[in-house]
């Protein structure tokens, strides 16, 4: 009898790939994507994407910083609190596929959101990236001017990058009832005011996320035919859900949808790749050891394991292994989602 599993490599079997190994000794978790030091790499997405960008820089990748911090900041930590150096552009956290699509459409003049300014007391904030500036602006016109400069940087990034790394984070988001603009946080949290007749929570379903990502990919390839994309899914659970569900099933729903979309995109498009950082952290073989005591934040051990798995195969040869890395507790992850419960 011909058994179709005969001849499969050891990574195909649970016993040899998982049961008989420690999680730190897992191998062949992915086929490393084509990437060399000369490739211009840009990042965006949820909070976890910041670890990927940081490790790419440390290991010698040609990491894009299209909106560098002005010299007024004395150190990197201070600049990061104002949105500089967090991602390749100063767009803050891009949690949903719809945010990403709308950002790209706006950058190339295909979309003009009706609401881009939120107010908090006497200061004004960019509604589409409210967390990048802790103090806001003195006038709404200043927000508009700063956004135009930002969009020019985003446009240049998309036109010139070689690899775009995007970490899918959430399916839940708040949108304008007027034109469907998706915001990174709910109005009334970091800035703005929650008005039920103007804003609605949208929990994007699989088909919507897939359609948004397909549309973004088509736009990116139209302006940059040689572009490639690396997708990951954030393992960080929701800090809160605006649905009527318990936060645990709400989290599992969100991550399951995003993982399914990422897998289908990688299977359907030659230029899209998927790296299983989510599986490494959240999978039960890890026994939860990669989370801090709050069971939400990923600890140093987990981050380092993920990045060691990323730089395997030809990537281990191409990119140097740093002899010393700044402790992760000195590296502040900027996360807008974590601020939505500050005043509860």
199-246 pLDDT tens trace:
999 999 999 999 999 999 999 999 999 999 999 999 999 999 999 999
Asked, for residue 197, whether it belongs to a domain, the answer is: no
- Residues forming a β-bridge with 124: 119, 137
CA distance 108 to 104: 6
Examine residue 341 and state whether it is found in any structural domain, yes or no: no
Query: CATH number of the domain that 56 lies in?
Result: 3.40.50.1110
CA distances from 48 to 94, 227, 282, 297 (A): 11, 22, 13, 9
108 vs 153: CA distance, rounded Å: 11
| d(C-alpha 45, C-alpha 52), whole Å | 11
- Rounded-to-integer distance, Cα 344 and Cα 342, Å: 6
**The token pair that represents 241 in the structure block:** 């859900």
| 80 within domain boundaries | yes
Range of the domain at 222: 36-111+151-182+202-331
pLDDT higher than 80, residue 326: no
pLDDT single digits (tens) 153-207 = 999 999 999 999 999 999 999 999 999 999 999 999 999 999 999 999 999 999 9
Instruction: Report yes or no on 134 lying in a domain.
Output: no
Instruction: Enumerate residues 6+ apart whose C-beta is below 8 A from 34.
Output: 228
Whether the pLDDT of residue 340 is over 80: the answer is no
Residue 187 lies in a domain: no
Tokens representing 90 are 């100063």
Give all strands (DSSP E) within 234-274, no chain letters.
272-274
Q: Is the pLDDT of residue 327 over 60?
A: no
How many structural domains does the chain have?
1
Q: How confident is the model at residue 330 (pLDDT cuts 50, 70, 90)?
A: low
Q: Is residue 63 part of a domain?
A: yes
Q: Per the domain annotation, does 261 fall within a domain?
A: yes
pLDDT per residue as tens digits for the range 268-306: 999 999 999 999 999 999 999 999 999 999 998 999 999
Cβ proximity of 269 and 227 under 8 Å: no
pLDDT band at 77 (very low <50, low <70, confident <90, very high): confident
**Is 255 within a domain?**
yes
40 is written with which tokens?
């211009």
Given a contact cutoff of 8 angstroms between Cβ atoms, the answer to whether 227 and 164 are in contact is yes
**184: helix, coil or strand?**
coil
Give me the pLDDT at residue 329, please. Answer: 42
Element (H, E) at 327: none
CA nearest neighbour of 176 among 207, 202, 151, 215 = 202
Tell how strand 172-176 and strand 62-63 pair up: unpaired
Phi first, then psi: give them for residue 56, nearest 5 degrees. Answer: -60, -45
Return the DSSP state at 10.
G
Q: What is the mean pLDDT of residues 65-77?
A: 92
Q: What's the pTM?
A: 0.94
pLDDT at position 343 over 80: no
């Amino acid at each position: 009898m011909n058994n179709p599993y005969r001849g499969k490599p050891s990574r195909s079997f649970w016993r040899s790939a998982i049961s008989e190994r420690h999680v730190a000794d897992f191998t062949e978790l992915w086929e490393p994507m084509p990437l060399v030091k000369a490739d211009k790499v840009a990042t965006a997405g949820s909070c976890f994407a910041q670890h990927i960008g940081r490790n790419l820089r440390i290991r010698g990748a040609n990491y894009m910083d299209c909106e560098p911090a002005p010299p007024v900041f004395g150190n990197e930590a201070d600049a990061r609190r104002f949105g500089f150096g967090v991602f390749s552009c100063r767009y803050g956290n891009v949690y949903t596929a719809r945010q990403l699509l709308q950002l790209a459409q706006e950058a190339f003049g295909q979309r003009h959101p009706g609401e881009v300014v939120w107010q908090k007391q006497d200061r004004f904030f960019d509604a589409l990236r409210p967390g990048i500036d802790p103090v806001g602006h003195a006038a709404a016109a200043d927000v508009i001017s700063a956004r135009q400069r930002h969009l020019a940087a985003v446009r240049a990034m998309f036109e010139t990058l070689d690899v775009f790394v995007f970490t899918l984070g959430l399916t839940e988001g708040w949108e304008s009832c007027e034109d469907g603009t998706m915001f990174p946080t709910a109005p009334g949290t970091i800035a703005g005011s929650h008005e039920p007749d103007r804003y609605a929570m949208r929990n994007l379903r699989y088909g919507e996320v897939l359609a948004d990502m397909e549309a973004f990919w088509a736009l990116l390839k139209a302006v940059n035919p040689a572009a490639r994309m690396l997708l990951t899914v954030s393992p960080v659970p929701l800090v809160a859900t605006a649905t009527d569900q318990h936060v645990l099933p709400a989290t599992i729903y969100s991550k399951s949808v995003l993982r399914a979309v990422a897998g289908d995109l990688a299977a359907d498009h030659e230029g899209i790749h998927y790296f299983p950082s989510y599986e490494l952290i959240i999978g039960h073989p890890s026994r939860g050891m990669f989370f801090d005591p709050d069971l939400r934040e990923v600890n140093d051990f987990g981050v380092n394991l993920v990045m060691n798995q990323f730089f395997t195969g030809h990537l281990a040869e191409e990119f140097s292994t740093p002899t010393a890395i700044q402790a992760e507790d000195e590296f502040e992850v900027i996360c807008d989602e974590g601020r939505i419960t500050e005043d509860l």
